[in-house]
Amino acid sequence: MPNYGDPKYWDKRYSENEGSMFDWLEDYQSLKPLLSSLIPSKSSRILILGCGNAPLSEDLYDDGYQNVVNIDISSVVIKQMRERNSEKRPGMVYEVMDCTEMGAFGDDTFDVAIDKSTVDALLCGDNAYLMVAKMTREIQRVIKPDGGVYIAISYGKPESRAIHFERPHLSFVNKQFILYPADCTSEEQKEEKSHYIYVCRKQPGAQAVAAENWDRVVEQLKQEAEAAAAEYDGDSSGDEEKVGKSNKQKKGIHLRSYSQ
Ligand SMILES: C[S@@+](CC[C@H](N)C(=O)[O-])C[C@H]1O[C@@H](n2cnc3c(N)ncnc32)[C@H](O)[C@@H]1O
């Protein structure tokens, strides 16, 4: 399986697909009813994490949300998206940035952060759980405490994802939604085609909670990674297939593979 957390993988992929656009999991039309209710003000400052070449932020912009900042770890895709949008959508911002280290952004400066399958990508990379914890810590830091919201759209079911939004360094009030095509005729089809939306609303005092608990979270995740590496004969890569197997052995959970 490719290392979806590795910028080189994405640079190569975006170079090879120059000129094409692709929305992972869901597009704006299917997300619009929920996004409209979660983002009532069109002037909201929105951060798109791991934007890729998805039409999502262009669609948001064209629908009136024109205060959008897009980041991605791939310099290739950011260059492509800047070129594509500089004239048509002059207010749109694109920056090369790692979502686990967003020091260029101040605390409490975004109303909304949207992550569409970027958490899934990080979970298929090295040190997966720690990287996701770093990302959520940074997201919590940059969104506003009075109603700032982090929206993660993922193929991962709550059994495998909710834990990442409930770590002790986070002070979110969480809600979950499921999206599946209206024409699903059986529970099996629903199960196969569902995507999950995790809505995390930042609480006042979150920064203090992060400062107090961060070291403990890092220590715990390092220990878990070491234990998982030992379980897999010294291979320390944290891809979800292995994490999934590990969870399956421990908890009987089935994880869908990351095959798109
Ligand atoms: C599965 S794609 C999703 C792309 C887009 N969000 C969508 O919905 O179509 C994951 C994206 O995350 C980006 N990415 C991976 N690791 C990242 C990181 N640490 N920081 C920022 N972006 C990252 C990749 O370059 C890729 O564009």
In order of their start, the domains of the chain are: 7-251 (3.40.50.150)
Testing ligand 1's pocket by substitution, the residue of 72, 97, 137, 154 carrying the most ligand atoms inside 8 A of its CB is 72
pLDDT of residue 234 exceeding 90, the answer is: no
Question: Global pTM?
Answer: 0.89
pLDDT digit string (tens) for 90-129?
999 999 999 999 999 999 999 999 999 999 999 999 999 9
Cα–Cα distance, 71 to 69 (Å, whole number): 7
pLDDT of residue 236 exceeding 50, the answer is: no
Cα–Cα distance, 118 to 120 (Å, whole number): 5
Testing ligand 1's pocket by substitution, the residue of 47, 78, 81, 118 carrying the most ligand atoms inside 8 A of its CB is 118
- Give the distance (Å) from ligand 1 centre to CA of residue 55: 13
Residue 74 CA: which ligand 1 atom is closest? 25
pLDDT of residue 246 exceeding 70, the answer is: no
pLDDT number for residue 254: 25
pLDDT number for residue 233: 57
Pocket residues for ligand 1 (CB within 6 Å)? Answer: 5, 10, 22-24, 50-52, 54, 56, 71-74, 77, 98-100, 116-118, 121-122
> Residue 243 — pLDDT band, cuts 50, 70, 90?
very low
